[in-house]
Structure 1
Amino acid sequence: MQVDTEDFRVALGDDGVAEIVLGTPGTMPTTGVRGHAALGTLWPRLAVEPGVRSVLVRSEGKGFCAGGHVELVAQMLGSEAERMRVMREARQLVQGMVDCDLPIVSAIHGAAVGAGAALALLADVSVAARSAKIIDGHTKIGVAAGDHAAIVWPLLCGMAKAKYHLLTCAPLSGEEAERIGLVSLSVPDDELQARARQIALELAAGSPSALAFTKRSLNHWLRAAWPAFEHSLALEMIGFAGSDAREGLAALNERRAPRFGSAP
């Protein structure tokens, strides 16, 4: 299975587990232009790949994934066509993970931000290292929490916690994320990869139809929230056309606090 991107690779094992491996050792994984597009189209391809029974999303980098690359964000600020393209790809990513009948496991270490948090939290079983750092991050750069946030955070951890963390971008450790229900499990850092792979192998050995039908049924809760997701994603893209997003990116590049001024 060929994937034309430097942001991640796909490894198909003979044990039924397909691995999506983010980044490379010593770097912080991000999603660039090609990587973001590839993630949107990956899930239906995996679902029909012969021999694949489950999917494990993990990282070889310093963290899980820091979200969109600065270059990708800069392109969105300057081009309506780029915003529309990214919106289409973000919708494909979320819908792809929700509709994929294969069980998906994520192994989260270090930072999982933005699109990285989407990959981590839309997995059917999310396993976080205790020191992991989960942040939505959107409002800090002056745009609405689109991506995956509106569709899944309130269901996982409740509206009060979802609003607090999405509005403030307060980080969550893996241990705290498990406590509030945002992730399935939190484990010691040195046990993360082995535990996540063990779960992926267990799912790969299960009944494909039973697991697929159970996931398909449970995910109707996410489909019921689809209008909220579409709305949040559209508002996020509108935000990228505004002055607050330009200020947010400038502040990020200059390593200073943003000075926002727009009114809703």
Structure 2
Amino acid sequence: MQDPQAPPWDLGPHLQVRIADDGVAHVIFGPAGGMPFTDVQGHAHLGTIWARLQATPGVRSILVRSEGKGFCAGGSPELVTAMLHSQEARLRTMQEARAIVQGMMDCDLPIVSAINGAAVGAGAAVALMADITVAGQRAKIIDGHTRLGVAAGDHAAVLWPLLCGMARAKYHLLLCNTISGKEAERIGLVSLAVADEELDTRALQIAQELARGSPTALAFTKRSLNHWLRAAWPAFEHSLALEMLGFAGRDAREGFAALNAKRPANFGGDQS
């Protein structure tokens, strides 16, 4: 395989796209060696990138991976701060979060994720919305929302009960547990878990195999299976709206302050 090339898209400093000659488009979180997160620019691009890749000639599958020490830690402090203090920011972020989930669901190309290290918040949403999810055994999947003091709203209500069952979904989302890649495989939250040193190779092999498959057969199978997600779409819309409502309240401000100070949050439920 030749070194993947970057198309002329300005996606900001934390997100890259490289197109390989084998038909695999690499969507890459960065920076290399650091902890990736989604800033304002990157969060917006994650809502539109899937349709753009589908329209790019020669792209047959998508591999979402990270060059950082984790997959993606979710929204940047600046993004969260804006949501805490601005209704405009909350409405914009809500529209983008909806576009991420719907964009990945509606994309006809098969999407594979390679989950290394921490996948939190929006990072967990992108990781788990992929069609085939490959996790390193020591990956750390955390929804993150209830720990921050807001509803689990950006993908979990529509996806987790289908993947691991309602009982486990409630257990992990309400308690905001850290789930290892090995445990995520055991409960059905990811497709498979592999040794961390084998993660990139195995995920790329799967993406390459998909790229060699029948585009129509894969697209039509994905469309058909995703009707299970579409049937649960009202739950997603409701959860996303409640998440944004929570960002306007006291508990979200307290949760964010507690995370920054690395102390337990003093939640009171007063949403004023």
The runs of 5 or more residues in structure 2 that have no matched partner are 1-6
Aligned length: 264
Which amino acid in structure 2 is aligned with residue 100 of structure 1? C
Equivalent in the alignment of 1:72: 79
Detail structure 1 runs of 4+ shifted over 6 Å in the superposition. Answer: none
Is 1:185 paired with 2:229?
A: no
d(CA) in 1 for partners of 2:42 and 2:145?
A: 19
Residue ranges of structure 1 left out of the alignment (5+ in a row):
none
Match of 1:95 among 82, 102, 106: 102
Q: Does 1:17 align with 2:9?
A: no
Distance in 1, matches of 2:247 and 2:203, equals 35
2:207 corresponds to which of 155, 179, 200: 200
Checking the alignment, whether the CA contact within 8 Å between 2:13 and 2:31 is kept in structure 1 is: no
Q: 1:213 aligns with which of 211, 217, 220?
A: 220
* 226-235 or 2-11, which deviates more: 2-11
1:6 is aligned to 2:13: yes
Correspondence 1:157 to 2:164 = yes
Q: What is the alpha-carbon distance in structure 1 between the residues aligned to residue 69 and residue 265 of structure 2?
A: 26
Question: Are residues 1:240 and 2:269 paired?
Answer: no
Distance in 2, Cα, partners of 1:180 & 1:252: 28
Matched, 1:141 2:148: yes
Contact 2:114 2:135 in 1 (8 A): yes
Match for 1:256 among 239, 244, 263? 263
How big is each residue's C-alpha offset from its partner over 1:21-53, in whole Å with a ceiling of 9 and x where there is no partner? 101222100000000001111111011110000
**Which residue pairs with 1:167 in the alignment?**
174
CA distance in 2, matches of 1:253, 1:174: 26
Separation in structure 1 between the aligned mates of residue 61 and residue 11 of structure 2, nearest angstrom: 22
Taking every aligned residue pair, what percent have the same amino acid on both sides?
Answer: 69
**TM-score relative to the length of structure 1:** 0.99
TM-score by length of 2: 0.96
Q: Does structure 2 conserve the Cα–Cα contact (< 8 Å) formed by 1:19 and 1:55?
A: yes
Residue in structure 2 matched with residue 115 of structure 1 by the alignment: 122
Cα offset for 1:172? Answer: 0.6
Q: Is the contact made by 2:113 and 2:134 (CA closer than 8 Å) also made in structure 1?
A: yes
Cα RMSD between the aligned structures?
Answer: 0.8
